[in-house]
Amino acid sequence: MKAEVFANYADLAPLLQKHTEAGRTIALTNGCFDLLHVGHIRLLQAAAQEADLLVVALNSDKSVRGNKGPGRPLVPLVERMEVLAALECVHFVTSFAEPTADALIEILRPNVYCKGTDWTADQVPERATAEKIHARIAICGDSKSHSSSDLAERLGH
């Protein structure tokens, strides 16, 4: 089943609330997901194991440029969303433009906030927000040995 895509994450909140009321747990992860690679897949599969439903929020093109530089993203947001929506382990895809995922977490209210292994639970920038809504922080995926930035550099971008 293909995941549902929501251009505006606030539009996803009421649907997630219904799932929560029905007893389903929600995991949320976020990132650029520019050049999809095995590290992304391992993160997403591990995050999906943390709850009944997985929401993936992608950084907007503007925020990717701010984080990664003027040549990024290599793949525009609408296409990144489509690719992630096609993955079996992903249930919902949305995007956000803010510099952190704090507002996203407050509005979507996941049970679990998942970050990659390049973080520790204490270092997660949105930790206080996750704790405020009583979301557990899960560190997921394999060791950070894969990188879209490294791939882009090897391709000359």
Domain boundaries, the chain: 4-154
pLDDT at 2: 84
pTM metric for this prediction: 0.90
pLDDT at 154: 53
Across residues 55-61, what is the average pLDDT? 97
3-state SS of the chain: helix, strand, coil percent to 5? 40, 20, 40
Residues 6 or more apart whose CB falls under 8 angstroms from that of 52 comprise: 19, 24, 25, 26
Contact 92, 55 (CB under 8 A): yes
Which H helix or E strand runs over 36? Answer: none
CB count, 10 Å around CB of 153?
A: 10
Contact 96, 69 (CB under 8 A): no
- What are 94-144's pLDDT values in tens digits? 999 998 999 999 999 999 999 999 999 999 999 999 999 999 999 998 876
Confidence of residue 31 (pLDDT cuts 50, 70, 90): very high
CATH of domain 4-154: 3.40.50.620
pLDDT at 147: 56
Q: How far is CA 85 from CA 51, 57, 60, 92, in A?
A: 17, 11, 16, 7
Q: What is the CA radius of gyration of the chain?
A: 15
